[in-house]
Chains A and B, each alone.
Chain A
Amino acid sequence: MRSYLALLGAGFRRQTTYRLALAAGLLTNAFFGVVRTAVFYALYAERDQVAGLDVTDALTYVWVLEGMFAVVWAPWVWEMAEAVRSGEFLVELLRPGDPYLRLLAFDLGRTLSILVTRTLPTLVVAAMVLDLRLPSTPGGLAALAASMVLAAVVSFQFRFLFGSAAFWTPDHRSMFLLVFPVLWLASGFVIPVDYFPEGLRRLVEGSPLIPLLMAPVRVATGGPAGPALAGQVAWVLLLWLAGRLVLAAAGRRLVVHGG
């Protein structure tokens, strides 16, 4: 347990080292947030509610999205695949302890660092300038924090599955780039899934993409926190199982591949 915590801390420190990248990231999030805010203000200029969302919900969605962007689409998404290709990943399997947990601990350290240095300031500043719908009770804030951490865990689990693709194909990048547009839309990063047509929406609601963004958004805007968090936990468990199976299969594969 202690070694996993050490990895978590190492991941956290690694991510906080890049100050310039952090500043550039915050600036980018702020810019996109301002543009998206203008879009929703213009859209809601003549309406109060659309698909159950009012302008305050929409703006909260915008800024939770900007805060979560670097957590869900972490820039190190290729790292594992590259380690697999170069054979370095073999070392992961030789180290003591459980490889999946170790990778999770280090990755979670990095995403927690982003949650603290990027998500939190983005949301705080946005909430000071704009009228957002964020929880004000300790319980509500705890639920939001838990939901964001769960989103970070699920995003790691996706990164792990993508990285594992490198065990089977030398062109894992093309695979990711082909799947990415679909995930980008279906996870709600283009528009909130609430605006989707009914059929598409029902399809997406049952997918592991909801925990990434829409669950934290719903917890933030005061939607039923229980079901949102339960859905996230359920997907963490299912993706955990999937990750395990893939790792077991990949372990046999790496021997052939890396040598």
Chain B
Amino acid sequence: MAERAGIYLRLAAAAVRATARRPAYLAGRTLAAGLLVAVEVAGVVLLVDRFGTIGGWRPAEVVLLFGLAFAGQGLAQLFGDTLEADKVSTLVRRGTFDQVLTRPVSPLGWVVASYVDTRFLGRVLAGAGTVVWAADRAGVAWTPGRAGLAALAVVCAAAIIFAVLLAAAGFTFVTVQGSEAVNMLIYGGQYLASYPMQIYGSALRFLFVWVVPFGLAIYMPALAILGRQGPPGLPGWLAWLSVPAAAAFLAAGGLAWRAGIRHYVGTGS
């Protein structure tokens, strides 16, 4: 097991070193990933500032949600960007994945470790910076518990997005051509979770709290960090439910990935 972990670490280190050979390129990409977060945050600040509040939340409080969601998304993409439909599609069509299957390592471990994309650190850092800035503006008194909750929110959100990417990759093994509908869950889920959940209709809320628990992972911890009362029917301890929910979701994503590999037939080229 330790030896296996060593292999993945070496693969990941090689991927990181490969991008580090072109520092200007890496810096540009990292900056771009972070800049997009800054622009979205600027947009929401300008918007909510014009109106004062949204669903009773002040701009800084909404920005905290944005920061958590972006950091989670960036963390998932750091490891799982290569699982995105069009990239898996390329792996399959070029026959690269045939070779992966013959190697004495887990295919998932190989794919993830070989394509670690450090530029998404830009998004993670920008997201984390946003959280710190927003918390300061919102007057959050940081305690170890609150900091832990923030980290938990980011990790759980990342696990959920990673699971979506896994399931999508499994699906792509079967269809070969990927579908951009996955982006709806990855970018749409992040966008939706960036606003307080009570502004949504019950169907949307149900979907993103209980089915794709992105809302659960971001919104519930944010309530606790901000010291806000949630809407009735969502007790505070639900924040902790995001851990088993994310774990279950990750397991389901893993199953879908395995099912996809079982149906993998290659493309013959």
Contacts and interface: CB of A to CB of B under 8 A. Distances in A.
Interface of A: 20-21, 24-25, 27-28, 31-32, 34-35, 38-39, 41-44, 47, 50-51, 75, 171, 174-175, 177-178, 180-182, 184-185, 190-191, 195-197
A47 B32 CA distance: 36
**Chain B: interface secondary structure?**
helix
B233 interface: no
A216 B31 CA distance: 32
B195 interface: yes
20 contacts: A24-B181, A27-B184, A28-B180, A31-B184, A32-B184, A35-B192, A38-B195, A38-B200, A38-B204, A174-B28, A174-B32, A177-B28, A177-B33, A181-B32, A181-B36, A185-B39, A185-B42, A185-B43, A190-B42, A190-B44
A82 to B, nearest CB: 14
Interface in B1-60: 25, 28-29, 31-33, 35-36, 38-40, 42-44, 46-48, 50-51, 54-55
B188 interface: yes
B90 interface: no
Contacts, number: 94
Given A51-B50, A195-B47, A196-B46, A31 B199 contact: no
B264 interface: no
Contact of A28 (B47, B54, B188, B195): B188
Contacts of B36: 180-181, 184
Query: How big is chain B's contact interface, by range?
Result: 35 or more
A20 B179 CA distance: 8
Contacts of A184: 36, 39
A39 B195 contact: yes
A41 B200 CA distance: 9
B25 A174 contact: yes
